[in-house]
Structure 1
Amino acid sequence: MNAPLHLAATLSDGHVTGVHAENSRPLAAQLLVGKTVDEAARLAPVVFSLCGVAQGVAVKAAADVAGGGSFVMTADIERALSLEAIKLHLWRLMLDWPVLFGRQPERTRFAFVLKRLDQATDARSAYEAGGAVLDLVARELLAGFINSLREPRNLTEFADTCRRSGSIGDALARLIEAGASDPLEDPVPLLAPLPASVFAEALPGGWPDAAYCRAPHLSGDVYETGPLARHVNNPLVARLVVQRHRIAARLFARVVEMSDCASRLRHPLPDDMPALVDVAPLAGGGALARIETARGVLLHALRLDGDTVADYAIVAPTEWNFRPGGVFEQEGAGWAATDVAYAEWRLRALALALDPCVLYDVAVTEGAVADA
């Protein structure tokens, strides 16, 4: 079966070039057109199942404002979104990252933690589940830092400190020891959490058409979205970025974000954290909902005809990070690789760190060797 996202590159004269992300997944938002709002809210989580909670919330939020009302964020919605994000992060951390390093996925542990999270059905059980996630983060990444008398002075000490934690810390240490991953003098800028109104005002023509949904931008500029963009100001994440270890920084940021999500489970709607959801009206009618998901910013644009969806568009995080000229294509090119196998491994690490929401494959071909 062909993956919807094909990632290709060429290894020529010891350097990776010609990095290309070909995204063939269909723009399925039109499946919601002609449905009532309630039907669309039920259908969206089925069509986009990986982040189904966020998709359903986005439909309702956009429809509330497009219909002339307002969207009210509740503690229940915040907890549901946070639970979904934690599960998606754990999936990558426990099942996918170990495989990248030749280890078995931690299916038994993942199933145990997932069962614990699924027991969070009210405020009290969500509080307890959040505590369990914080304990997991402390054991799996931060234990080495907590037990150290000082911060690591260099990257070697940083990796050693990570390794004194659990399996996730070990994966981070291995990434650091694999060498710097960022060949760019001017990396793709990070898309910090922004209100929906900023995106609404910047949309070309006031609506995200098919071309925009395939290759989103903000006022013409390409951005990276996701955990790194949200947590780049964390001192330890920032240290990895400065040292040009952006793949490792993304992995670290994912764990930091799990802590934030756990805090939202325990204390939803905090004043000192960015809002997960907001909505802005569109100048030409309709509304744009913005949700911060595990993979990055998710935008839903909706127009209504009475209670029926007249037009719909979705801009997903994958299209930001794997668009033509986006962060995968830019950061994936220009660095040295000893052979095709290593080049493929490094590109898989970059893809996994950017976390597309569709199946993908990676292929590196060997180019002709230039004459001496």
Structure 2
Amino acid sequence: MRPDGKLRLRVIRDGRRISGVRVDNARPQVASALVGRSVDEALALIPTLFDRCVRAQGIAATAACVAAGAPNLVRAEAWAEERTLATECVQEHLGRLMLEWPALFGHPPRSERFAELDRCLAKLDDARAAYELGGDLLDLVVVELLTGFFRAAREPSGLREFVERARRGGSVGAALADLIEMGSSTPEGEAVPLLPALAAGAWARELGGVPSAAFCAAPVLFGRAHETGVLARHAGSMMVHNLLAHRHRIAARLFARVVDLSDCASRLRHPLASDMPVLVDAAPLGENAGLACVETARGLLMHAVRLDGDRIAEYAIIAPTEWNFHADGPFVREGCGWEADSDEAALLRLRALALSLDPCADYEIAFEDLPGA
């Protein structure tokens, strides 16, 4: 039942030029397994269907069913939902920032430090512990991940200074410098638009009902593919904006992940702060139907349900991966239209692109050469 099917990323080469990308998404749509079950049965089943963002899936399912009018069902307190989601986001971000990004560029992963923090997150059981761990995570960003950026009073004036600061210390800083030295990563054509922050009610009006399986497999907004995730949430942050302006889109996503980690740490210290956008929103989706929108480490997760009494009549799940690995989405757009000096250089850039978009499934990259290339 688990959606463990691989993403198969087919990269078309014409000599040294990467001329096209095709995504074969083998992830099964598990929402159909919920149809016909009682609400209680469905909510108990959902955590067994997923390996990643499990708590976010459960919160989204409950919120959608409550919005649909499920009898005798209530959501957790808002602060509890936020702490749960922030904790899960932190766990996801730390794995990418401390293990996968350093390893991609041959830097030592921070395995022991990651394991220490992961243990702390696993036993986060009261407000005081959450407050203290949030402070530790903010220190982690300043002292261990991006040391070089906090030794000066002003923002770097250009890419050269950005790279110099990145190299001064911090495991993420080193990866950022490596990304920038790879060269511009923004595609030749127009980049995929970033998914705007819409309220659940606006999404409900846009969807008009529980979306079809075809829509869930290839979601669009206003008829276009969009990018969701940390870049969509933090494109306005100064350093992220500057990297985008210099056409370093992959590096912008990496920096945005650090910003998002800091935001999650702040949520652990001060849940439901008025200057932070909500992580969970829900709204009716027509008669006996409801929609929940939940922000996760990877982007927007949506659950939609229609009830028939206390049973599931329709269910749909739109996951972030289906936005970012859409046939006209950011991986496809940014994965082609450039040249590489070697297979190794091409593969490194493609792996960095995939990691920056953070699919919730394993993936494989395969090259296909055009005839006569």
Q: Same fold (TM over 0.5)?
A: yes
Q: Which residue matches 2:155?
A: 151
Q: Which residue matches 1:221?
A: 224
Output the CA distance in 1 between the equivalents of 2:80 and 2:224: 35
Please point out which of 235, 240, 245 is paired with 1:242.
Answer: 245
Q: Does 1:35 align with 2:37?
A: yes
Q: How far 1:206 sits from its partner (Å)?
A: 2.4
Q: Which residue matches 2:12?
A: 10
Q: Which residue matches 1:190?
A: 194
Q: Which residue matches 1:280?
A: 283
Q: Which residue matches 2:91?
A: 87
Which residue type is aligned with residue 214 of structure 2? A
| Shift in alpha-carbon separation, 1:88–1:24, aligned structure 2, 3 A | same
SS in 1 for 2:193: coil
CA contact (8 A) 2:185 2:248 kept: yes
Deviations 1:170-198 (A, max 9, x none): 11111111111112341111113221122
Q: How far 1:351 sits from its partner (Å)?
A: 0.5
SS in 1 for 2:281: strand
Q: Which residue matches 1:264?
A: 267
SS in 1 for 2:306: strand
Q: Does 1:312 align with 2:331?
A: no
Q: Does 1:45 align with 2:47?
A: yes
5+ residue gaps, structure 1: none
Please point out which of 316, 324, 328 is paired with 2:327.
Answer: 324
Q: How far 1:284 sits from its partner (Å)?
A: 5.1
Deviations 1:10-68 (A, max 9, x none): 22132111211110110001122233323322221221121011000011101111016
Please point out which of 87, 109, 116 is paired with 1:112.
Answer: 116
Range with greater deviation from structure 2 (259-268 or 138-147): 138-147
SS in 1 for 2:339: coil
Q: Which residue matches 2:361?
A: 358
Range with greater deviation from structure 2 (218-227 or 150-159): 150-159
Question: Which contiguous aligned blocks of 4+ residues in structure 1 show a shift greater than 6 angstroms?
Answer: none
Q: Which residue matches 2:59?
A: 57
CA contact (8 A) 2:20 2:335 kept: no
Q: Percent sequence identity over matched residues?
A: 52
When normalised by structure 1's length, the TM-score is: 0.94
Q: Which residue matches 1:335?
A: 338
Deviations 1:218-256 (A, max 9, x none): 121210000000000000000000111000000000010
SS in 2 for 1:152: coil
Q: What is the aligned-residue RMSD (CA, Å)?
A: 1.8
Which residue type is aligned with residue 329 of structure 1? V
Q: How far 1:271 sits from its partner (Å)?
A: 1.1
Output the CA distance in 2 between the equivalents of 1:125 and 1:34: 41
Output the CA distance in 2 between the equivalents of 1:139 and 1:46: 38
Which residue type is aligned with residue 29 of structure 2? L
Q: Which residue matches 2:21?
A: 19
Output the CA distance in 1 between the equivalents of 2:137 and 2:211: 37
When normalised by structure 2's length, the TM-score is: 0.94
CA contact (8 A) 2:70 2:310 kept: no
Q: Which residue matches 2:348?
A: 345
Range with greater deviation from structure 2 (331-340 or 263-272): 331-340
Which residue type is aligned with residue 333 of structure 1? C
Deviations 1:203-230 (A, max 9, x none): 2x52210110000011212100000000
Q: How far 1:89 sits from its partner (Å)?
A: 0.7
Output the CA distance in 2 between the equivalents of 1:283 and 1:219: 20
Output the CA distance in 1 between the equivalents of 2:326 and 2:181: 29
Q: How far 1:330 sits from its partner (Å)?
A: 0.9
SS in 1 for 2:338: coil
Deviations 1:335-367 (A, max 9, x none): 121122211211111001000000101112333
Q: Does 1:135 align with 2:139?
A: yes
Range with greater deviation from structure 2 (100-109 or 189-198): 100-109
CA contact (8 A) 1:224 1:326 kept: yes
Output the CA distance in 1 between the equivalents of 2:364 and 2:109: 19
Output the CA distance in 2 between the equivalents of 1:128 and 1:45: 29
SS in 1 for 2:314: strand
Output the CA distance in 2 between the equivalents of 1:369 and 1:140: 49
Output the CA distance in 2 between the equivalents of 1:214 and 1:162: 38
Deviations 1:97-150 (A, max 9, x none): 122112443322211110122231111111111111111111234432221143
